[in-house]
Structure 1
Amino acid sequence: MLEEWAGPAGSPDFAAIKADQFLPAIDAAIALSRAELTAITDNPAAPDFANTVAALERSGAALARVRRIFWMLSSAQADDGIHAIEAEVSARLTAWGTEVSQNAALFARIAAVWKGRDSLDPEQARLVDNSYKGFVAGGAALEPEAKRRLAEISERLGMLGVTFGQNVLAATNATEVLVAEDEAGGIPDDLRAVAAAAAAARGLTGQLLFGLDRGTYEGLLTFADTRSVRERVWRAFTARCQAGPYDNYPLIAEIVALRNEKARLLGYDNYADFALEDAMARTPAAAAGLMERVWRPGLIQAEREAAALQEIVDRDGGGFTLAAWDWRYFSDRVRRERYAYDSGAIRSRLSLGKVRAAAFAAAGRLYGLRFTRRPDVSVYHPDVAAWSVDNDDGTRVGLLFTDYLARPEKHGGAWMGSLRVQEKIDGPVRPIVYTVANFTRAEPEDAALLSLDEARTLFHEFGHALHALLSDVTYPSLAGTAVARDFVEFPSKLMEHWVASPEALRGFGIPADLADAVARAETFGQGFATIEFLASAIVDLKLHQAQPPPTDIEAFERDTLAALAMPAAIGMRHRLAYFTHVFDGGYASAYYSYLWAEVLDADVFEAFTATGNLFDRDLADRLRREVLARGDARDPMQSFTAFRGRQPDEAALLRARCLA
C-alpha cells in the first residue's frame, strides 16, 4: 500500500487492498513523513522557498496515497472491515496533522519564508501565504497549554464526525416504507420493480418495500398518488437520527461546542468567523446578507406557489391543507397542466447511460476532452467504471472513476474526490478523480432512470471532476478543487446548465415541445427550491455563530425556523440530525456556499447565452484557462474577474431563479 501505483494509467490495484492493512500502512507512512519533515527542520541552510515550502509540498506522498484510498472506500464502499477501523484511522491522521501543524521548528521556517513572500512569483507567494495561515489555524502560534487543548479538540471532533456519518448511513439503511400494491398508483415502474424485489426477498406478498435513499424519497413524493404513502415516506425520511440508537442530537451539541471552543482558542468570536475568514464571502455577515436578500423574494414566490398548489387540492375536493409531503406531487401537477411539462415522460428518457454520455459529450464540445472506458483498470466495486480522459490532440489529462448506483455500503448523497491531484513540481503528474452518486439501481446499470434533478446531480459532480482534471498548477496543495469553499461549487453549479437546456434535452430523444416546456416549467418551483435550501444554510450559519452554543439542538432548529417564518409546507432540505455536509464534511458554517457559487455560475452562464451558442469554444477555452486550470494559485475573485472582466453581478442569481 505504500508503493507508487503501477496499474494502467497509474491507477491503484484495489484487489490488493485489504482493510486490515490500513492501520499499519498509515503508521509506516507517517514515519516516512516524519523523517521528511525532520530533514526540513534540521537543514542548516537559512529557510527559503525551495528548502522549506517546496520541500514540504514534496513530503507525505505515501501517506497521501493511503489516506485518499481509505476515505474513498469509507464513503463509497464502507464494509465491516472499514467501519471497524474508521474511528482509529481518523484519530491517527488527526494526531499526525496536529503534530505537523504544531511543529515549532517547521513553523519558524515557514514564517521566515512568509515574511519574504513579496520576492516570490505569484503562485509561490500564494502557496506560502496559504501554508502560513494553515499553520496558524492549526495552533502553531499558541501557548503550550492552548496547543494541547486544541489537539484534544481536533481528535474528538474527528471521532464525532465519523460517528455522525456512520449513524446517518445506518439509519438510512434501516429506514424502509412498506406500501401495499393497491396504494402504489402513480409510482414509476422502475421504482416499483426494485421495491417488489425487496419485498419478495422478505417473503412479503402483495407489498412493495422501499428503501429511502434521496432519489427514491423524492421520486415517491413526486409521483405517489396515495397521500398517506407520501406522508409515511416524508415522516420516515425526515425523522432519521433524531432518537434511538442513531440519535445524532447529542453529537451535534458536542460538535458545535467544541468548534466554538476551537475558534475562541484561535482568537475568533465564534466558529463561523474562523471558518469563513478565507472564503470569498470573508465574513458571516456577508454570507448572511446574501441569504437575506434572496430569502424575501424566495418566500414571496413560495407563497404564490403554495396558493397555486392549494387551488388544485381544493379543485380536486381534497379537503386538506397543503403539507410538506404534498408539495412535490402537486408541483408536478401544476407543471403538467400549465406548462405541458411531464416529469415522468422526461424521466423515461433520461437513462443513466445517456446522461453520462451527454456529460462526456458536453465536455468534448466545450473543452475538447475525450472519455474512453478502461476495463483494464482495477475498480473497488463492479458498479464502478474507469475512464481515460484525453485532450482532442491525444495528450493525456487524467483518469476518472464513476460510481453512480445506490448500495448499502455507500454513504448517501453525491460527491467528487481525488485519489491523486494534478501537479508539476517535479514534472507532470496527472490527476485521478472519482464521482459518486446514489441513483436507484437497475439492471443493466445504464438503464437506470433519472429524474431531471438527478441528471443535474450527475452533471454537478462531473463539473467538480472537470475542475480537478483540468487543473494546471505547479504545487499539489493548490491543485484543482483545493479552493475556497464558496468558490468550489461554482464550476459544478455551472455545469448543470448543460443538461437542462432545451438543446441538451432534445439530445436525449425528448420531443422538442416537451424539451421547450422544461424551460417554461422551471419558472415554477423556484420559490420552494430557494426556501428549502436557504433554511438549511441559514440554520447552519446561525448554529455556528450562537453564543453560547446551544445544547438543545432540536429546539434551536425549530426556533430558528420559526423566527424565519418558515412555511409549514416546506421542510429544510437537510435537517441537522442528518446534515452530513456540516457534521461529517467540510461545510460547517458554509452550506451557503452553493448560493454564493450560484451568483458566479448564473453570471457566467449569461455570458454563454449571450453568444447564442452554449458550446462557444472560445469562451470555454477562456473559462478553462482563467478558472479551471488555476486551482487556488490565485485569489478566486481574480480568476473570476479575469474571465468575466468585472466583479460578479448578484442580480444574475435572481434572474436565474426567476426571483428578480
Structure 2
Amino acid sequence: MPDLATAPEVTALPADNPFAAPSTLPYGLPDFAAVRLEHFRPAVLAGMAAQRAEWEAIATDQDLPDVANTLEALECSGEILRRTMVVLHTLAGSVGGDDLHALESEIAPLLAAHGDALYLDRRIYNRLESVANAAPLLDLDDETAWLLEQYRKTFVRAGIRLTEPEQEQLRALNARIVTLETEFSQRAVRSLEAGALPVHDPARLAGLDEGTVAALARNAADRSDDAAGAGHLITLQLPTQQPLLARLTDRELRTALLEASRTRGSGVDADSDTRVVLLELARLRAERARLLGYEHHAAYIAEDGTALTAEAVRAMLERLAAPAARNARLEAAELQAMLDADHDGETLTAADWGYYSERLRKERFDLDDDVLRPYLELDRVLTDGVFHAATALFGITFHERPDLAGYTDGVRVWEVKEEDGSGLGLFVGDFYARAGKRGGAWMHSFVRQSHLLGRKPVVVNNLNITAPPPGEPTLLTWDEVRTCFHEFGHALHGLFSNVHYPTLSGTSVPRDFVEYPSQVNEMWMTDAAVVGRFARHHSTGEPLPQHLLEKLLAVGAYGEGFATTEYLGAALLDQAWHRLTPEEVPTAPEDVEEFERAALDAAGVGLDLVPPRYRSTYFNHSFGGGYDAAYYSYIWSEVLDAETVEWFHHEAAQGGDGGLNRAAGQRFREELLSRGFSRDPLGSFRALRGRDADIAPLLARRGLAE
C-alpha cells in the first residue's frame, strides 16, 4: 500500500511553485495561469508532510489541552495541502486528461493514509477528550462546543477505538476504497466518451433545431477518432435518459441512443467497464462497516446524517415507491395511446417515453421545448433570473470580473457584493460541457469562509450545457434553467456562510441536508416576477407570451410519476448495494445486472419503461464517492424544501409577492444559509419554520398524496 513512508521526502516547496504561498489574487482565487502539471506532486507531498508536522506538534504539546492549542490548531493545519488539492480536483473533474487522472489515482491512497494519520492518532483524540472534560470550566461558545463534538464523533467513526491490528486493516481498506472510487469515476467519464453515438445520415436528426444539429456536427469535428467521419455525434450526459430522446423523431435512433446510455460501464467497452470495480467497492465498504461495528455501509452512512438510521431511510423510500410506480403506469397508458396512433400494434418502450411525454405535454399544455428555448438564453437566465432573485431576496449584487481568469476557456468570475457595497466573495461559473469533464452538475468551493482564518468564500458552479456554434446564443431547455437555479442554491449556501471554523463552513453539512437549500432556490424560476424578466426572446427581447407562461406555470405535477420512479430506482439501488454484508456481494461482473433487476423488483420500481436515473455501472454519485448510500438525500431534503416553499408563499409573503422580499430572504439567510454546520441542521430548519417538517407538502407536490 502506498504511504508517506515510501514517498520522496519533501520539506519545503520552491518559491516558484504556486502552491508554496497563498494566492495574492482577490479573495484568494487560485492563480490558475501559474499552475502547471508538474507543480502538483511536490505540493501534495510537501503539504502532507507539513500537516503531519503540525499534527505532531499538537499531539506532543506539553500544555494542558485547550481550544487554542488543540481545536484551533487542527483547524489551521494543512494549508498547503488544501490549496493544492482543491485545484487538482477541480482540473481533474472539469478539464480531465490522462495525466491529471493518473496523478489523481496516484495520490488517492496517499490521501487516505494521510487522513488515517490524524483520525487514528490516540494522542490527539485524548487531547480532544480532555478539552471535552474541561468544557464546563472553559465556558465554550455554542459553535466551539459543536465543533468539539463533531471532531470526537469523527474520530470514533474513523476507528479510533479499534485495536492496533484492526486499525491496520482499516488503513488498508481505506486506501483501497479511495483508489477504487477514483478509478470508477474516471471510467465513468470514459464511458461517456465511449458511448457517444455517431450519426452518418443527417436526415435521422429530424426533430432537432438547426443550432442543435450544428452542435452535433461540431462534436464530430472535435473528435479525433473515426466518429469524426460520421458528420454528427451525439454525446452522452450522465443520467440514463438523454435530453435528445424527447426531440428525435427517428424511433430507431432513439432506441440506439438509450441503449448507448444504459449499457455504459457494462462491458460494451473494456476501458470503461466498471463492474469489477463496483463489486469490489461494495464488498470493501461492507467489510469496513463491519469492522467499525455497523450492520452494513448504509447504516454507517445514515448515522452521520439527519436520517440517523438506514431503517428510517428505507421506510421513507418505500412509502414513496408504490404511489410513484402507480402514477408512472398511469402515465405510460396515456403515452401508449399516442404511440398506437403512430405505430399501431407497437409497444411503448423506455426510449419512446421522453418523445411521447414531450408530445403529450405540448398537446395538454401547448408547450414545446423548441418553442421555449429561444426565450431561455443563458446570460439572461443568469442575470435577470438567478442573480435577480438573489438580489431581491438578499440585496446582493453581481459584478463580472473579466480580469480574473478561470481554469480553462469559458469559465467566468463574478464578484458578489453586499447591499452596502462591501465584498462578500466570488462566484465562478463553468457552464459548458467539454471532453474530459465529468457529467452532471455540481458546486464546490475554492475558498471556504472562516472568521478564524479571515477568509471570504470563493464558490464554483459546474454545468454541462452543450456549447453553441461560435457567435450563436446559448439557448437552454427548461430543465437546464432549473439546474442553473439549483446549483446556485448551493452557491448561496457557500457564499452566505458566517461561521468561525472552516470545518463547519458553508455546505459542510450532512449529505442528506446539503441539497435542501439548493432545492429551495428552484422555486424562484417559476415565480412570475422572476420568469417574466428572464424568459425573453434572445434576439427581439420580447417576453415569453403570457399564454405560454401561464401554461408553463400550470404544468405542476405532470410527469412526476416517471420522474419520482426514475429517481427512486437509483436511490433504492444505492441502498440495496450498501445494505449487503461482504458475503452477500455478488462476485462475477455478469451478476451486476441480475442483482440490479432483483433489487428494483423487490422495491416495486422494476418498471422496464422507467429505468433508474443511474444504473449501477455509471452511478458515479454512489460508486465514485460522495453520495454512497446517500443518494436518498435528494428526496429526504425535498421534504424540508417543500415545507420551506410553503413558508415563503404564506408566512413570509408580503402583498402577494410569494415571499420574494428582503425580509424573507434575510430570515432564510440568518437562520439557515449562514449557519453552515455550526449547529444541528434540523435545528436551523426548526428555527426557520417553527416546527419539525411534515411530508405532506412533498406528497402533494409530486402528486403522491392519496
* Partners of 1:146 and 1:215 in 2: CA distance: 39
| Residue of structure 1 equivalent to 2:325 | 299
TM-score norm. by structure 2 comes to 0.91
Q: Which among 418, 422, 428 is matched to residue 401 of structure 1?
A: 428
CA displacement, residues 220-270 of structure 1 (integer Å, 9 cap, x when unaligned): 101001111110100001111110222111111110111111111111111
Match of 1:452 among 467, 472, 478: 478
1:322 counterpart letter in structure 2: L
After superposition, the C-alpha distances for 1:608-636 in whole angstroms (9 at most, x for unaligned) are 12223231221111110000000001101
Q: What does 1:207-606 align with in structure 2 at a 5 Å threshold? A: 207-214=231-238, 218-243=242-267, 244-357=270-383, 358-426=385-453, 428-444=454-470, 447-507=473-533, 508-509=535-536, 510-547=544-581, 548-551=583-586, 552-565=591-604, 566-606=606-646
**Kindly tell me: are residues 98 and 440 of structure 1, through their superposed partners in 2, closer, same or farther at Cα, counting changes over 3 Å?**
same
| Of 30, 42, 50, the match for 2:68 | 50
For residue 642 of structure 1, what is the aligned residue in structure 2?
687
Shift in alpha-carbon separation, 1:204–1:590, aligned structure 2, 3 A: closer
Structure 1, 95-104 or 171-180: larger mean CA deviation = 171-180
Which residue of structure 2 lines up, in the alignment, with residue 80 of structure 1? 98
Q: How many residue pairs align between the two structures?
A: 659
The 8 Å contact of residues 157 and 258 in structure 1, kept in 2 or not, is answered as yes
1:170 partnered with 2:170: no
Deviations 1:178-234 (A, max 9, x none): 232222211232221111234456697784221223599633101001111110100
1:445 Cα deviation after fit: 8.3
Q: Deviations over 1:14-52 (max 9, x none)?
A: 011111211111111112112211221121111122221
Which one is further off, 75-84 or 270-279?
75-84
C-alpha distance after superposition, 1:399-458 (max 9, x if no partner): 1111010001211111111111000015x3101111111111114588222111111111
- How far the C-alpha of 1:76 sits from its partner, in A, is 0.7
Instruction: State the partner residue of 1:619.
Output: 664
Q: Could you say what the CA RMSD is over the residues aligned between the two structures, in angstroms?
A: 1.8
Deviation at 1:115, TM superposition (A): 3.4
SS in structure 1 of the partner of residue 630 of structure 2: coil
Secondary structure (helix, strand or coil) at the match of 2:198 reads strand
In the alignment, does 2:220 pair up with 1:181? no
Give the letter aligned to residue 508 of structure 2: A
**Preserved CA contact (<8 Å) 2:405 2:411:** no
Distance 1:251 1:513, change over 3 A: same
SS in 1 for 2:614: coil
TM-score by length of 1: 0.97
Asked if 2 retains the 8 angstrom alpha-carbon contact of 1:2 and 1:29, the reply is no
Rate the CA distance shift 1:446–1:417 in 2: closer, same or farther, 3 A: farther
In percent, how many aligned pairs have the same letter?
37
Name the structure 1 match of 2:647. Answer: 607
- Whether the 8 Å CA contact 2:557–2:701 is kept in 1: the answer is no
Q: Is the 8 A contact 1:406 1:441 kept in 2?
A: yes
In the other structure, the counterpart of 1:197 is 218
The alignment partner of 1:29 has SS state of helix
- Partner amino acid for 1:550? V
Structure 2 residue aligned with 1:135, among 152, 155, 158? Answer: 155
Q: Describe the superposition over 1:499-523 as per-residue Cα deviations: whole angstroms up to 9, x where unpaired.
A: 1344433321221111111232232
Separation (CA, whole Å) in 1 of partners of 2:266 and 2:175: 24
> In structure 1, what is the Cα distance between the partners aligned to 2:218 and 2:88?
32
Change (3 A) 1:320 1:55: same
User: Which whole-Å CA distance do the structure 1 matches of 2:86 and 2:472 have between them?
Assistant: 28
State the partner residue of 1:159.
179
**8 Å Cα contact 1:452-1:500 kept in structure 2:** no
After superposition, the Cα gap between the structure-2 partners of 1:501 and 1:221, relative to the gap in structure 1 and judged at 3 Å, is farther
Does structure 2 conserve the Cα–Cα contact (< 8 Å) formed by 1:20 and 1:81? no
Describe the SS at the equivalent of 1:516.
helix
Is 2:451–2:499's contact at 8 Å kept on the other side of the alignment?
A: yes
The structural deviation recorded for 1:607 is: 1.3
Cα distance, 1:529–1:487 mapped onto 2, change above 3 Å = same
Residue 95 of structure 1 and its aligned partner are, at CA, apart by 1.3
Partner residue of 2:22? 4
| Partner residue, 1:658 | 703
One-letter identity of the residue aligned with 1:135: F
For 1:254, the aligned partner's letter is E
For the 8 Å contact 2:400–2:414, the answer to whether it is kept is: yes
Matched, 1:628 2:649: no
Looking at structure 2, the residues matched to 38 and 546 of structure 1 have their Cα atoms a distance apart, in angstroms, of: 38
Question: Residues 502 and 512 of structure 1 are in contact (CA less than 8 Å); yes or no, is this contact kept in structure 2?
Answer: no
User: SS at the partner of 1:473?
Assistant: coil
Cα deviation for residue 127 of structure 1 reads 0.2
Q: Deviations over 1:621-660 (max 9, x none)?
A: 1110000000001101100000001111111101111222
The separation in 1 between residues aligned to 2:55 and 2:687, in whole angstroms, is 37
Pairing 1:107–2:131 present: no
Check the 8 A contact 2:572/2:603 in 1, yes or no: no
**Any stretches of 5+ residues in structure 2 without a counterpart?**
1-18, 537-543
How far apart are residue 84 of structure 1 and its match?
2.3
Deviations 1:121-176 (A, max 9, x none): 21111100110111112222210001001000110011101111111111111222
Q: Which amino acid aligns with 2:305?
A: A
Shift of 1:113: 1.8
Moved more, 171-180 or 489-498: 171-180
Q: Distance in 2 between matches of 1:212 and 1:506?
A: 32
One-letter amino acid matched to 2:119: S
SS in 1 for 2:350: coil
| Structure 2: distance between partners of 1:222 and 1:2 | 50
Q: CA deviation at 1:53?
A: 1.1
Measure, in 1, the Cα distance between the counterparts of 2:227 and 2:153. 59
Instruction: Tell me, in whole angstroms, the C-alpha distance in 1 between the residues paired with 2:574 and 2:21.
Output: 41
Whichever residue aligns with residue 382 of structure 1, its letter is: D
- Contact between 2:28 and 2:447, CA under 8 Å: does it hold in 1? no
- Please state whether the residue corresponding to 1:186 is helix, strand or coil: coil
* Pairwise CA distance, 1:596: 0.6
Letter in 2 for 1:397: L
